[in-house]
Structure 1
């Protein structure tokens, strides 16, 4: 279902951050409907969602929600499509509840969050969306009947509370957010996870068949994160090389370490692509990570480019 590098990154990103708080389903197909929800999140108990370090993202995850991220301003048709997904999902939940002779409380109904890099005042006026004083600037709500919130990343205040949403923005907004992530303590697990995902995003753009001006700017924004991740990966290899060097000589050990680092880098990229494409890395998919990593450079890049259109069965069959 993945269509582009941003789609891939955003799904993996929300899965990484929200999995500790509840169940994350990527590309969730609404039963009986030819519709796929980008991210369908169901929180665990309220206690587990108390994660103030995630800021607004934690508040969003306090209730069941559909997350629909957009790299550009969504069109009116795309917004109607998102609302259609919400309506069909709610209808399916009510059908399940009726079969089980249960009822769904209003606060248990799913909310739709449209997360857009930008959203014009004109579009917001058409939606009759307004800010709510209990939420931050840049977060808008149409009629309460629609159970929908719209996050305009370009209008969010640049505070720690919005960091984990601004990372999905564009241009200077994203550039500042990436710098803030890099500035976090190196022992921060969120920092290392995001740096790794940003690096993979950069690689996935670079293996695309064509790169436009906007994507070239994005690559520049992601370069700092990629460089740090690459150095970290190589350093891990060098450390291994040092141990080898004790036996066979320091210089040879150092060179072997660099090669090990490059191999680890390839493996991590493949693992991230498979996770984003299929939602999990089970034993069958894990078994083909190394064969993919061992492909010649041209075949390796081509496969990553084709991955979004390959079915699980076709991919596994290729490496059986």
Structure 2
């Protein structure tokens, strides 16, 4: 059974946010049974940047993260705690004097959780923030019910790992963030990669679950917004490059004529470069590499409007693309 791409997205996403702050290990193997911890974070510094909000508060010491796309079950919780204990035992074998507060803490991330499961775990909601539950201290475990978190900037980086409307709203908030935010661009790139993986599976006639189809519909507007931003950047870069070229030509051929020609050429080159980069990125994602035959049709592809060539690149097979654009 194919693993749902959200698993990889969650690991890559947490790695992207946490790697500047410390060591991040994904799918860390434990014991001879070949079990894995999704994400193990080890901080390099005790000072965590405020821009990570609530997520930053969770990583001021070593932490394990186990994100779930579907609501967590009792067996999921037992399995996660078992992995935590195995990790802790290994650390204590290496250093018997390791203080209790330096042992890793487990955070189970789930979109929803039934009150019955939380009661069975003796989980108590943490004062001050709804959606955060602590198990008895000895277990070193907390459960974050993402859909119960308040909709604030501090919870954004956790709500992105939710599902349905909660995740969609978080992604819309992400798009509205300043373009110079340290995690905005890379996080959006991970979202687009997730969309490309789902679209590729659909194009290969691989049956998708209803949840996956809904996620495609949910992420498509985000992707189109990204494309518009890329196009706008191309226009801006083209204008800037055009001004530079115009000034240079103005010295040789006259300032007025040089500016006009430079602006036109720079605008065209900037837009074409952004379109070419978009096409190459989609081809690379779909087919893992761009072979010589695919490279010969790139110029034909980018001659189409972006709203036409993007659906083709996401749905047509390699052979269909070659047949269409080599005609």
What is the alpha-carbon distance in structure 2 between the residues aligned to residue 158 and residue 235 of structure 1? 30
* 3-state SS, counterpart of residue 151 of structure 1: strand
- For the 8 Å contact 1:38–1:68, the answer to whether it is kept is yes
RMSD: 3.2
1:218 pairs, out of 206, 215, 218, with 215
Instruction: Name which of 109, 112, 135 aligns with 2:106.
Output: 112
1:69 aligns to what? 67
Q: Could you list the per-position Cα deviations for residues 201-258 of structure 1 after superposition, in whole angstroms to 9, with x for gaps in the alignment?
A: 1111222222232222222221232113333445666778897996x97898578536
Partner of 1:129: 123
Q: Which moved more, 1:165-174 or 1:202-211?
A: 202-211
Count how many residue pairs are aligned between Structure 1 and Structure 2: 276
C-alpha separation between the residues in 1 aligned to 2:177 and 2:267? 34
Does the residue aligned with 2:20 lie in a helix, a strand or coil? Answer: helix
1:151 to 135, 144, 168: 144
Q: Quick one: which of 94, 97, 117 aligns to 2:95?
A: 97
**Higher RCO (Cα < 8 Å, 6 or more apart):** 1
Contact persistence 1:31–1:92 (CA under 8 A): no
CA spacing shift, 1:299–1:267, aligned 2, 3 Å: closer
| In 2: Cα distance, 1:32 partner to 1:185 partner | 46
> Can you list the C-alpha shifts for 1:157-192, whole angstroms capped at 9, x where unaligned?
111111110111112211211111111112223221
Cα pair distance change 1:251/1:161, threshold 3 Å:
closer
Return the alpha-carbon distance in structure 2 between the equivalents of residues 11 and 232 of structure 1. Answer: 26
Name 1:298's counterpart in structure 2: 317
C-alpha displacement of 1:87: 0.7
Deviation (angstroms), 1:43: 0.8
Tell me what 2:307 maps to: none
**8 Å contact kept, 2:50–2:56:** yes
Instruction: Flag the 1:241–1:85 CA change in 2: closer, same or farther, 3 A.
Output: same
**Corresponding residue number in structure 2 for 1:228:** 225
Displacement of 1:91: 0.7
Unaligned stretches of 5+ residues in structure 2: 243-260, 296-312, 320-327
Per the alignment, residue 176 of structure 1 pairs with 169
**Is residue 266 of structure 1 aligned with residue 264 of structure 2?**
no
Structure 1: segments with no counterpart, 5+ residues: 274-287, 301-320
Structure 1 residues 269 and 231, CA, compared in 2 at 3 Å: closer, same or farther?
A: farther
CA distance in 2, matches of 1:53, 1:199: 22
Structure 1 residues 56 and 250, CA gap change in structure 2 (3 angstroms): closer
**What is the DSSP-based 3-state SS (H/G/I as helix, E as strand, rest coil) of the residue aligned with 1:189?**
coil
SS of residue in 2 equivalent to 1:224: helix
Of 138, 155, 162, which residue of structure 1 is paired with 2:155?
A: 162
